[in-house]
Structure 1
Amino acid sequence: MNELFEERPVWTRQAISCKTGLEDQVIKILMPKYAFYIQSGPWGRLWCRFGYDPRKDPTARQYQTVMVSFRRHRKIPERPRLKMTDKWTIRTSGSRQKAELTDSEAANAYMYTPGQLPSVRQMWYSLCDVGLQIAADYLALVFEPPGNVADAQHGWLPSEALDAIRNEIKNDVKRTSNLIDAVEADEMGEEEDDVDDWLD
């Protein structure tokens, strides 16, 4: 656990679970020995290493969290599954691929990856774990809040940043969902054609 907090001073619960393989109940027991929990604000839902204060570190903008609630989709579970066995992604070619979740993919389930559906309907992402250009663009900004201190609501970022990033994540998931549905509909049509051919 010490190595984890040397890598990064703050983590979401899901990230800790993915990085360590520990179950939630074990994490709840262990974490108070290494970190304190931030319940709300720019770094809400993060476990923060003792001695580190993101409000005093402008580079901590990369760890600020954005909560995203996704629309219902049959391939996005309401709650985390005990064991994820498959994933749905859309490749740039538009083809669908369903495959067993590899160890590396399971370890990155706390990140937002374009073209891949989230692991649960409500996610908390640290901005550095959002693989979209808009997140990188905002993190690259040199923004100084009034008084050069972290804003209680927006942290080290402009007020519009989180909404813009959240909207782009939702738009990307919507595109992915629509593509998956379209590909599945095409495949269903092909299967029906095959059955008709066999009956003929």
Structure 2
Amino acid sequence: MGDNKVNIIKTGIGKKLILVEYPGLVKNDDKMIKTLGGLNKISRVFSNEKRRLELRYHPDNIYNKPAMGDSTTASGLFIKVKIKRPKDPNQGPMTHTVEILGKCAKKYHFNSLCDFQYLPLQKDPQTNKVSYIYDDIAPKNDCDIFCKPEAPLFCTPFVFTKNDTVNTKIHRSDKDQKHNLGNEDVIGIARTRTEGSEYVSFNLIDPFPEKPNPFIVKKLQIKYISDAQFEKVRQLFAECPIWNRIALIYESEVSNDKLKVILPSMAYYFTTGPWRTMYVRYGYDPRKDFQSRLYQTFDFRYRFKTGIGSLVKSRSEAISEVMKEDCSNSNDSLSQPKQNVFYPYFEEGQLPRSRQCIFRYCDLRIAKVQEMLKRVPSPASGAICNEKTGWLPSNFNDDCRQIISDQIMEHIKSMKQKAQIIIEDLNESRDVSENEDYEEEGIQEEFENEARTAEDQMDVTDELNLLLET
């Protein structure tokens, strides 16, 4: 500032203030505070970090939707600057007084949409005159709710938009979607898909893919995939035309990253229908083969009662438990049945790999289920599979779910009984060892008493011998 004098006042440097970035030109402080709900409501919002600050441009209108302000962390100082200019420039330089009012660590800003501000207006069809009917429809007290049956109808939706944040992303056109294989940042599905893969929605009319996408053939040349890994997966699809991912990883011993590159070159993926989430070999149509009923999707979701949820964990929890056991190398409680989260089959006397898991029906290695699959009657000539249930009866899925649920309950009960027997044996052995300790202590005390008595007798004998000698 050159020769100007600067005076800094630091009296308010320890005062904490909150910044509100008001989206408007403030000419009246009282009206501005009223649009934010008043001082009482503002203080309640400031005291709760999870609440949002509401801004109503028409606070007296109950049909007005507020704009929401979010809180974020901030760092800064609130300062007040006063400049004192002398009347005569020759008398001296200007004086600047900088006063620190406080420091800011939190602020509220309004980046959300204001949505639609609905005004209670009504148009007269005869005169075409629009009138403001707020006083006719807004109740002033409890009696007005029942005493105004002739009030005009005025209903507004609760919300007008699903989200109140601005979306700046650009949608991709259908033409670009065909040529660009997901390389651009666009709005799409929540779950990313492998580039070049064939994702098929099940239907009874359209043909299914016969060959892989040429893009995948080029990708195989770029990615490092060994011939042994590729041959293992190819041989599995030669033996069985339909697989799920976890079974392929288990049988081929190929990692998931490598399998993502190999699978699109050998099979297409069903997103809907009886074979949902399954990979089907190119050229194979499950709609024409009754044997494909063995590979239909069985989506198992166990509804746990109280207490069983702690025994059968979700997939993420089960994987974390496996990681903990690998790190600690410890065998914990005997009453906890183990889950093999990477095992693709379900057998008798075991728990499912997670609370929700997807099998093929051939993966259910239970005698009752396999017997039911064999007893499914062959379709008549010319019959086609159902779009929802495939080649199986409508109640087949429910019967299998009940069988597996009963198997899990029986397994958990047997494990609990075995654990209880082991615990009782341990308690009995502990009691026996304690009794033996007590008996050993008693014997030791008797031995010490006898030894003490013998010493006393020897002392008495020595004294008698001395007396006789004297």
What is the TM-score when the length of structure 1 is the normalising length?
0.79
**CA 13–151 in structure 1, closer or farther in 2 if over 3 Å, else same:** same
Alpha-carbon distance between aligned partners in 2 of 1:29 and 1:193, rounded to the nearest angstrom: 58
Tell me what 2:23 maps to. none
Tell me what 2:353 maps to. 119
Which structure has more relative contact order (CA 8 Å, sep 6+)? It is: 1
Q: Secondary structure at the match of 1:156?
A: coil
C-alpha displacement of 1:169: 0.9
Q: 1:76 aligns with which of 302, 306, 312?
A: 312
Instruction: Please tell me the residue identity of whatever aligns with 1:138.
Output: M
Alpha-carbon distance between aligned partners in 1 of 2:370 and 2:242, rounded to the nearest angstrom: 19
Q: 1:159 aligns with which of 383, 388, 394?
A: 394
Map 1:52-131 onto structure 2 (within 5 A).
52-70=284-302, 71=304, 72-79=308-315, 81=319, 109-131=343-365
Instruction: Please tell me the residue identity of whatever aligns with 2:262.
Output: L
Deviates more, 1:190-199 or 1:170-179: 190-199
C-alpha displacement of 1:74: 4.5
C-alpha displacement of 1:134: 3.0
Instruction: Please tell me the residue identity of whatever aligns with 2:413.
Output: N
Q: 1:150 aligns with which of 381, 385, 396?
A: 385
Alpha-carbon distance between aligned partners in 1 of 2:400 and 2:344, rounded to the nearest angstrom: 16
Tell me what 1:133 maps to. 367
Deviates more, 1:179-188 or 1:143-152: 143-152
Q: Which has the higher helix share?
A: 1
Deviates more, 1:185-194 or 1:151-160: 185-194
- Answering whether residue 278 of structure 2 is matched by residue 51 of structure 1, we say no
Alpha-carbon distance between aligned partners in 2 of 1:182 and 1:26, rounded to the nearest angstrom: 44
C-alpha displacement of 1:11: 0.6
Instruction: Please tell me the residue identity of whatever aligns with 1:150.
Output: C
Q: 1:185 aligns with which of 412, 420, 433?
A: 420
Q: 2:254 aligns with which of 22, 27, 43?
A: 22
C-alpha displacement of 1:22: 2.4
Alpha-carbon distance between aligned partners in 2 of 1:2 and 1:12, rounded to the nearest angstrom: 14
**CA 145–137 in structure 1, closer or farther in 2 if over 3 Å, else same:** farther
Q: Which runs of 4+ in 1 moved over 6 A?
A: 82-86
**CA 69–145 in structure 1, closer or farther in 2 if over 3 Å, else same:** farther
Deviates more, 1:1-10 or 1:17-26: 17-26
**CA 194–74 in structure 1, closer or farther in 2 if over 3 Å, else same:** farther
**CA deviation digits over 1:138-168, x for unaligned, max 9?**
3222243896111011100110111111110
Instruction: Please tell me the residue identity of whatever aligns with 1:184.
Output: A
Tell me what 1:176 maps to. 411
Contact map agreement 1:62 1:126 (CA 8 A) in 2:
yes
**CA 135–145 in structure 1, closer or farther in 2 if over 3 Å, else same:** farther
**CA deviation digits over 1:85-127, x for unaligned, max 9?**
79xxxxxxxxx9x99x9xxxx7xx2122111222222221111
Contact map agreement 1:143 1:157 (CA 8 A) in 2:
no
**CA 189–146 in structure 1, closer or farther in 2 if over 3 Å, else same:** farther
Q: Secondary structure at the match of 1:137?
A: helix
**CA 30–77 in structure 1, closer or farther in 2 if over 3 Å, else same:** farther
Q: Which runs of 5+ in 1 are unaligned?
A: 87-95
**CA 25–76 in structure 1, closer or farther in 2 if over 3 Å, else same:** farther
Instruction: Please tell me the residue identity of whatever aligns with 1:125.
Output: F
Number of residue-to-residue matches in the alignment: 183
C-alpha displacement of 1:10: 0.5
Tell me what 1:11 maps to. 243
Sequence identity (%) = 25
Tell me what 2:67 maps to. none
Instruction: Please tell me the residue identity of whatever aligns with 1:110.
Output: P
What is the TM-score when the length of structure 2 is the normalising length?
0.36
Alpha-carbon distance between aligned partners in 2 of 1:39 and 1:181, rounded to the nearest angstrom: 40
Alpha-carbon distance between aligned partners in 2 of 1:2 and 1:42, rounded to the nearest angstrom: 24
Q: RMSD value over aligned CA atoms?
A: 2.8
Alpha-carbon distance between aligned partners in 2 of 1:40 and 1:167, rounded to the nearest angstrom: 24
Contact map agreement 1:67 1:124 (CA 8 A) in 2:
yes
